[in-house]
Structure 1
Amino acid sequence: MSGLTAQLAAFTANPRFPDLPARAVEIVQSGFADTIATMLAGREEPVVRIAQDFVAARQSPASESSLLLGTRKAASADAALVNGAAGHALDFDDVALGGHPSTVLVPAVLAEGERLDASGEEALRAYLVGYEVWAELFRREPDAYHLKGWHPTAVLGTVGATAAVAWLNKLPQDKCRHAIALSASMACGLVANFGTMTKPLHAGRAAAAAIDAVRFAAAGLTAAPDAIEHHAGYLAALSPQGRADRESPASALGRELRVLEYGLSIKKYPTCYATHRVIDGVLDLAREHGVRSEDVEEVRARIGVAQASMLRNHQPVTGLEAKFSLEFAVASALVAGKVGLAELTDEFVGQRAVRDVFSKVKIATDDSQCPIEPIFAENDQVQIVLRDGRTLASGDIRFARGNAMAPLAQADLRTKFIDCAGRAGDIDGAALFDRLMDLRSVPRLRALAR
């Protein structure tokens, strides 16, 4: 039997999807809508301006794909870089497969799809190819990549997006294999850079690298035929404890849609997803019991080991740092009664009332592992100890609101989209949301850009 790299290439070249279930189409369309929402909301962030300046300095004559759904164009890989960074800049984009699939897949597919004049149906299927390859890689690692220092959005996303772009370009199987193997050498992103501008750049770089890998392979560049499964290859190098499955066949690829199993979790809060269950717990307790921040003696949060490793900023100073701080997430929930874009500012983080809560948050870790989301504990828990001696307990919090297992209603998705698009100022959010939620019927991706 051929090795894993070859199996991924065979699937990419000819995925042979069954008739797509309506639920799969809905999930993918929501991924496009949520990513474009966060991309529009993030387009004025400093990392996005820097990425645009970087692209402009290249002075490329190519005008293939739209930047941020506007009138400016760039080479498709450069557009994917900018749009991917924008989509992840606020850390408000969807979650699955240990990372953020759509903020890599959507910018790569949109940029290259626009260059190729692809349809919405083709974009949807390309996304699915990328998602299924990402899921195949994800299922082979029993341990949390974050604990080794790897950012899955970057290291898994580069290969997954390469498969999506290779399918869009109709590469033959041998060139798909070279592209996938090459992308494995391009994949990188470190957890140490969480809470800085480099984290969203991971997403943009992964999307751009996918396009570059396909272009290189199409031009004849070669790579190892076993780069994914080799003992000195991709899976082995990334594996936290050397337990990656490098040998079993990828027999389910194209036969079972893992997008129906894993889905997409849509974020309600623009902070690291590792904070969301705790935020839900604090908000629920505070609303039910009328708790104010000054009433609180201590907040005890119990979360998973990998979650705790990501939430490295215990005394954040900036809004960017606060995204990776459980102390801030709890403080915002107690002081503002919400955790939204308006709270993720340097000014709010610096308020005395907010900072006073930080030292009250005590974090304990749980060694259990969620079978669906391995970077999480089976459950999170919150206890709020009040100054009057009472202790309020959340009980087990299994899934955050918006999780694939507790999905948001379409009305909530629409509200988030319109709110995000409103930050762009020149986008008809309602009309664009409706087009994206019927992406399969869009004849040309170019029609999405103005």
Structure 2
Amino acid sequence: MSLSHELATRALALDPGGFDPTALGFARDAIADMIGCALLGAPTATTEAALLRGVQGDGPCHVLGRTERLGRLDAAFVNGVSGHALDYDDTSKSLSGHPTVIIIPAILPLAESLEISGRAFLDAYVIGVEAATRFARGVNFAHYEKGWHPTATLGIFGAVVSAGILLKLDAKRMADAISMAASLASGIKANFGTDTKPLHAGLAARNGLFAALMAAEGVNAAATALEHPQGFLEVFNGKGNYDADRMLTGWGEPLDLMNPGISIKKYPCVYSVHAAIDAVIALHDGPVPDSTAVEDVVVRMHPRRLLPHVRNPATSALNAKFSLSYAVARGLVNGTVRLDHFEDAALGDPEVTRIMELIRIEEMPEDFSDYGADVVVRMKDGQVFESHIEVPLGRGPESPLPMEMLEKKFLDCASRSLTAGGAAEVFRMLMKLDRLASLSDLVAAIETSTRPVKG
């Protein structure tokens, strides 16, 4: 049996009736968070450009936070772009990327047009996350370090499986869809910190849906597209840098949503720096309320979190989202890191610039907490203060984002596109997603409360 068929069989064998209610709660929260991020990104210039240049015409499917309606594939593309436009969406440790922003845009147009229930939508998402993350376990961390952007190159397999579940593909056609997706996967990390990164999400969502729709029509693909000598594994990772057996073991035991889980961002920047932000905010709220008295800052983290794009200084509002020094400086100066700190006008703050220049970054040993951080601050009077964060807030089931924070984030994000009353109602509906008779009701609530985008 080919690897694509093995993966398809395992995805179809998952029984939604046995899903842990806690996992479904994590899934519901992740979906709500992603939709909030898409409503935040809907009025951005990148989403505007995607609508202007990246779509073919009108259609029946809703675009989150917009008044336009598009065909299925175009809607998946634009919703993926807007969901990732400001890099505020969730992340997965297994994937080393952002799963929900690929899967939900891919299946939302299907759910809307096929009158899918909220629970069926939720189940398809859970299965898609499991498929993407099990695939990822066989190729990461080498895949990420090689320069691929797993959000797109691996997330597409979650999108195609979720879409295949809603389309009720059998094992043969699901395997064809997976193999076809292998030819449609793309995305390189060289484009981090630019407007192209959110295009990765939109294209992966679109291509995952496209592969599932094509397979549903009987279009086939090579059974061995993954393990072939010129297939996905050899081409993307190279010999000795993957383990296909790891893709096939442990499905649903437990679900990846439970262990290691999905991380919902508290701060609107790359998740790798969140522990360091928590650490400096703790210092700001305690012994270091005045950053002007700071003389030296050392940030120590796991080497996996300190890749080149994280070490880079902030030179634009967009790449500031990937800059450890900028995020830490903001947290130390302001005691918070907000959306408006990643706008062009915020980059010229002289005190933030001064602190950025003081920051030294050091790698901790491999056994140091994967997402943790140590921050040591020396004051001009010689005093030294240290803050250690083992697990940042929002880091999956270990340290979930409290519901009040999730709701506040959603309302802050949704306010960019929806009326205040509409945003509150949409959040209430999302919190009872598993009880919605049809996803169309949710889509209608979003559409009804959408404010026209100012030209």
Q: TM-score, normalised by structure 2?
A: 0.91
Please name the residue that 1:400 is paired with. 392
The residue identity in structure 2 corresponding to 1:122 is A
Counterpart of 1:443 (choices 417, 437, 452) is 437
- CA–CA separation in structure 2 for the residues paired with 1:13 and 1:416: 34
Please name the residue that 1:418 is paired with. 411
Farther off after superposition, 229-238 or 316-325: 229-238
- CA–CA separation in structure 2 for the residues paired with 1:246 and 1:232: 15
- CA–CA separation in structure 2 for the residues paired with 1:338 and 1:248: 40
| Mapped pair 1:34 → 2:30 | no
- CA–CA separation in structure 2 for the residues paired with 1:29 and 1:143: 27
- CA–CA separation in structure 2 for the residues paired with 1:447 and 1:55: 27
- CA–CA separation in structure 2 for the residues paired with 1:378 and 1:442: 36
Q: CA deviation at 1:14?
A: 4.5
The residue identity in structure 1 corresponding to 2:44 is E
Secondary structure of 1:99's counterpart equals coil
Q: CA deviation at 1:162?
A: 0.4
Q: CA deviation at 1:251?
A: 4.2
Please name the residue that 2:208 is paired with. 210
| Mapped pair 1:143 → 2:141 | yes
* Aligned residue runs from structure 1 range 421-432, under 5 A: 421-426=414-419, 428-432=422-426
Q: CA deviation at 1:255?
A: 5.5
Secondary structure of 1:100's counterpart equals coil
* Aligned residue runs from structure 1 range 71-220, under 5 A: 71-96=67-92, 97=94, 98-220=96-218
Q: Is the 8 A contact 2:193 2:321 kept in 1?
A: yes
Please name the residue that 2:451 is paired with. none
Q: CA RMSD in A?
A: 2.0
User: CA offsets per residue over residues 184-211 of structure 1, 9 Å max, x none?
Assistant: 1111111111111111111111111111
Structure 2: segments with no counterpart, 5+ residues: 448-455
The residue identity in structure 2 corresponding to 1:193 is N
Q: Is the 8 A contact 1:265 1:403 kept in 2?
A: yes
Please name the residue that 1:23 is paired with. 22
- CA–CA separation in structure 1 for the residues paired with 2:168 and 2:233: 26
- CA–CA separation in structure 1 for the residues paired with 2:377 and 2:48: 41
Q: Is the 8 A contact 1:42 1:89 kept in 2?
A: yes
User: CA offsets per residue over residues 243-282 of structure 1, 9 Å max, x none?
Assistant: 3112457243356422221222111100001110100111
Q: Is the 8 A contact 1:94 1:100 kept in 2?
A: yes
Q: CA deviation at 1:425?
A: 4.0
Secondary structure of 1:381's counterpart equals strand
Please name the residue that 1:54 is paired with. 53
The residue identity in structure 2 corresponding to 1:423 is R
Q: TM-score, normalised by structure 1?
A: 0.92
Question: How many residues in Structure 1 have an aligned counterpart in Structure 2?
Answer: 440
Q: Is the 8 A contact 1:16 1:254 kept in 2?
A: no
Residues 248 and 298 from structure 1, CA distance in 2 versus in 1: closer, same or farther, beyond 3 angstroms? Answer: closer
- CA–CA separation in structure 2 for the residues paired with 1:118 and 1:308: 42
Counterpart of 1:66 (choices 57, 62, 66) is 62
Q: CA deviation at 1:5?
A: 1.2
Taking only the aligned residue pairs, the percentage that are identical comes to: 34
Q: Is the 8 A contact 1:145 1:240 kept in 2?
A: no
Residues 165 and 281 from structure 1, CA distance in 2 versus in 1: closer, same or farther, beyond 3 angstroms? Answer: same
- CA–CA separation in structure 1 for the residues paired with 2:439 and 2:338: 31
- CA–CA separation in structure 2 for the residues paired with 1:342 and 1:394: 26
Farther off after superposition, 313-322 or 258-267: 313-322
Q: CA deviation at 1:313?
A: 6.2
Secondary structure of 2:318's counterpart equals helix
Secondary structure of 1:350's counterpart equals coil
Farther off after superposition, 28-37 or 65-74: 65-74
Residues 338 and 107 from structure 1, CA distance in 2 versus in 1: closer, same or farther, beyond 3 angstroms? Answer: same
The residue identity in structure 2 corresponding to 1:351 is D
User: CA offsets per residue over residues 13-39 of structure 1, 9 Å max, x none?
Assistant: 443344222101101110110001111
Residues 105 and 378 from structure 1, CA distance in 2 versus in 1: closer, same or farther, beyond 3 angstroms? Answer: closer
The residue identity in structure 2 corresponding to 1:424 is S
- CA–CA separation in structure 1 for the residues paired with 2:124 and 2:67: 24
- CA–CA separation in structure 1 for the residues paired with 2:283 and 2:322: 22
- CA–CA separation in structure 2 for the residues paired with 1:445 and 1:307: 37
Residues 381 and 241 from structure 1, CA distance in 2 versus in 1: closer, same or farther, beyond 3 angstroms? Answer: farther
Give structure 1 regions of 4+ aligned residues with deviation exceeding 4 angstroms: none
Structure 1: segments with no counterpart, 5+ residues: 371-375
Farther off after superposition, 69-78 or 242-251: 242-251
Please name the residue that 2:427 is paired with. 433
Secondary structure of 1:323's counterpart equals helix
Q: Is the 8 A contact 1:369 1:378 kept in 2?
A: no
